[in-house]
Amino acid sequence: MILKLQQQGYVQFNVCLILFIIFSCQKSSDPVSASPEITYSYRIVNEFPHRQDAFTQGLVYEGGFLYESTGLYGQSTVRQLEIETGRILQIIEIPSQYFGEGITVFNKKLFQLTWRSETCFVYDLFDLSLIDQFMYPGEGWGLTHDGINLIMSNGSSTICFLDPLTFEQVRKIEVTENGMAIDRLNELEYIEGEIFANVWLTNRIARISPITGKILGWLDMNGIINSGDCPQSVDVLNGIAYDANTRKVFITGKWWCKMFQIELIPGKR
């Protein structure tokens, strides 16, 4: 009888232990549960020249170079840039009826959204030759990927996950902070399990959970550039690129004369 009770106690203990582990894993799978929102500041590590004719809509790092998508009708391009000098190594002009938007590089292909033409162009990364294109509903703003799906913003609070082979929607998330929708999400970058998103007309970058859409934190970029820093007027912050091997973060904006490599500094919760 005593042995039987001991066995029952052992089973109950193991069941409780298993449930505890499962519950703990479920909580830790969503970074929102792990920590409240944090506002980060930044430190400038390096400063590089950036051509001021670039109305930057998308920025991505790949293989030692930066690739940039620029906008405006009749002026939209895709560019391969030398980081240290800002020199254009390759450039493709897209037809004047298209307004270039976000870009990402996935499986040696460069994907470029367009604003209101519902068209995504696909280029060979080596020579930027056009190899394919997809249609999608609505506007195109920012684009990145998580290693499995393409991730796209459309100017609203919605972020869509797309199949990179068919461009069909796999799922979507609504980006919120304390239950309130955060819209005007623009240029995107996927950094260490989070979606970084420029918020149009602000100097803030949102850090978003790709699981729940909740805001994990903010990056406050106030003061990184002033209109007097450049020969011509500058427009809004818009451009995030990440080198996963060195963990370098690059930041720029529309008509900026500078590109910055920054380091994030945790601030207050």
Same domain flag for 13 and 53:
no
26 lies in the same domain as 41: no
Residue 194 has pLDDT above 60, yes or no: yes
Residues 14 and 136 reside in one and the same domain = no
> Total domain count for the chain?
2
Tell whether 244 and 217 lie within a shared domain.
yes
Which amino acid type is present at position 121? F
Say yes or no: 23 and 151 in one domain.
no
pTM: predicted TM-score of the whole model, two decimal places: 0.85
For the segment 44-51, the average pLDDT, to the nearest whole number, is 97
Residues 13 and 85 in one domain: no
Whether residues 78 and 4 fall in one domain:
no
Q: What is the mean pLDDT of the segment spanning 34-55? A: 88
Question: Confidence class of residue 226 from pLDDT cuts 50, 70 and 90?
Answer: confident
Q: How far is CA 156 from CA 43, 140, 173, 262, in A?
A: 30, 10, 11, 27
Burial 73-98 (b: 16+ CB within 10 A, else e): eeebbbbbbebeebeeeeebebeeeb
Specify whether 113 is located in the same domain as 165: yes
Rounded Cα–Cα distance for residues 190 and 69 (Å): 17
Give, in order, the Cα–Cα distances in Å from 239 to each of 70, 136, 192, 200, 259.
10, 23, 17, 11, 9
pLDDT tens-digit map of 70-125:
999 999 999 999 999 999 999 999 999 999 999 999 999 999 999 999 999 999 99
Do 24 and 40 lie in one domain? The reply is no
> In this structure, what are the phi and psi dihedrals at residue 4, rounded to the nearest 5 degrees?
-60, -45
Residue at 20: amino acid letter: F
For residue 187, give the CATH number of its domain. 2.130.10.10
Same domain, 100 and 18: no
Q: Can you give the pLDDT at residue 65?
A: 98
Residue 245, φ and ψ in degrees, nearest 5: -75, -40
Task: For residue 58, give its domain range.
Answer: 35-266
Q: Are residues 20 and 140 in the same domain?
A: no
Say if residue 129 is in the same domain as residue 222: yes
How high is the pLDDT of residue 37? 77
